[in-house]
Each structure stands twice: as C-alpha cells, then as structure tokens.
Copies of this chain bind each other. A is one copy, B any other.
C-alpha cells in the first residue's frame, strides 16, 4: 500500500485536484468546472468522482490515500468542516463539506481556508521551506494572509486570524470593502493599485496610462507596472504607494509574530523585482535601528499549484501530528 495524499482547491470557477506521494511530489493533477449553481450535493459528488478517477488512472486505489486536504475561501468553521457561506458559490450555505466528502471517499478530510492552505504549501515545499516562522500575503483582488508561528498555522480564537489585508496602516484613510478605512488592502492589492491610478487620472494626472484608460475603459496593475518600466511618473507614484504600504505591513508583522521569512504571492508578483526591491527599500527606510533585522522578503514559488500542494501538505501534517480523525 502506498501512502498518498490528495489536495483539493475548491474555487468558484474550478475545482483543482492533485495526487501526491509521501514526499509531496505531484503525481498527477486535473481540474473540473465547479458549476456551483448545481448545488453542494452535486459539486461534492463530482469532486469525489474526479478524485477516484485520478487515483485509478495512476493505478492506485482509495486505500492508498492517507488523507485528503481541501481549501476554500471562507467564511467557514474549519475545525467542524462546515462552509458557512461563499461569495462565489451562493448555493453553499452551512455545507458540512468534510462529512459529505468523507462519506464518499472514506479517507479523513483536512480543511482550511484558501489563504492558509497556500501559505502552508509555500511553507512546506516552497518559498518558506526551512523556516519555522513565516508570514504570507496574496496580492490579488484583495490581500489575503497566513501566519505560521513555531511551525504551526495561526488560526485565532474564531478561526479567522491572519486577515492581514485588513490591518489599518492609514487610520481614516481610503475606504475598504470590509467597512474599515485605511486597510493595507485599500492601497496595495492589485485592484486597489489599479484603482488609485484610475482615480489619479480622473483627477487630471498626466500619464501614459491615460491612453490605456481611455481605450480600454479600465487599467490593471499589470498596465501600471508596464508603464513604470517605461518611466511613467504616475506609475512610479502609484507603485511606490503600493510598495510602501506593503513594507509598513511587513514591519508590523515583524513586531508581531517575528517571521524569519515574509512571502508574497498572487497575481501582482508577476511585476517581479521592480515590486520586490521597492518593498525592501521602504522596509529598510522605515524599520527600527534598535537591531539589525534579517527577515527575508521574497516571492512565492509554487504558482497556481499552491492550492493543491498546500492542501495535500496540510493533510500530511495532520497525519504527522496524529490529528487525523
């Protein structure tokens, strides 16, 4: 009997599934459309069938699977294994996903939110490998977060820790979707970066981005980093605002759980060193002088497989900790 782990990344559009060996090597993976409108019973049924098919195609059987890990966006009661609701899957309300999937597959199910899962993936086999204290940010529509302290994910009293995008860095600042003002997410997510540029253009700022906005009706953070590379002044101002907001947040995390490594993931890291080096510049400019800080700020390495790798890695960790039910 082999010792395999399955990792599932349940998103509003697709369900990604990966089969991993005991070294967390990806053996095979697949993706199916979620079609959440069919309801949780159908979606979870299809998920189970796809897992079984993937295992069979690898010449294995369900008995070879030690545990299945699954990540979804919240809110959920992770320990209980229940999705409370989901913005992208409106039919999912109080769905006991772990029990339902366990009934179909037999294997124990390990469940966490998508940001924690991706964080754990980077920690186990990606950019966080080799450290015990790590902080993780995803820069996308919003800013997601994960914290690993002394080798364990921080879940908090109500399983809602590490909402790092909602740390307030400019009190009474920009409105955030969460109802707060001045959250780092309102400045430095990919969407907020684009929105700040659009607002500046609408207020009359001169920039080569004006043409993009006029032609496409919108601009993206990708556009802004491209125009930054071409020397556009507004792009510089906007991306500096993004990097500074992220740097201040890194400093605040350093003074909180004191990570050895801070890992950025998400679509906006495609901007590359022009983003990473600027975060480091602002970090060095704003950090205290009491002691020299050696925290490493870097980009994630797992790409779009982080979700399935992290889910499988979490399942393996639960096994190693004797926490599988």
Chain B residues with Cβ below 8 Å from A271 are none
Chain B residues with Cβ below 8 Å from A176 are 288
Chain B residues with Cβ below 8 Å from A150 are 152, 154-155
Q: Are A251 and B147 in contact (CB under 8 A)?
A: no
The CA of A150 and the CA of B149, in the complex, are separated in Å by 11
Q: Are B161 and A257 in contact (CB under 8 A)?
A: yes
| A284 CB → nearest B CB, Å | 12
Q: Are B256 and A147 in contact (CB under 8 A)?
A: yes
A131-B157, A162-B256, A256-B257 as given contacts; A171 in contact with B248, CB under 8 Å: yes
Chain B residues with Cβ below 8 Å from A322 are none
Chain B residues with Cβ below 8 Å from A152 are 150
Partner-binding segment picked from A36-44, A177-185, A191-199:
A177-185
Number of interface residues of A (CB under 8 A): 48
Closest 9 A/B residue pairs (Cβ): A156-B258, A179-B289, A157-B260, A161-B258, A178-B288, A133-B157, A163-B255, A179-B288, A167-B252
Which residues of A line the B interface, CB within 8 A? Answer: 75, 131-133, 147, 149-150, 152, 154-158, 160-164, 166-171, 176, 178-181, 244, 248, 251-253, 255-260, 286-291, 294-295
Cβ contacts A to B, 30 pairs, < 8 Å: A75-B291, A147-B256, A147-B257, A149-B149, A149-B154, A150-B154, A150-B155, A154-B257, A156-B258, A156-B259, A157-B258, A157-B259, A157-B260, A161-B258, A162-B255, A162-B258, A163-B255, A163-B258, A167-B255, A168-B251, A168-B252, A170-B171, A171-B244, A171-B248, A176-B288, A180-B251, A180-B287, A180-B288, A256-B256, A256-B257
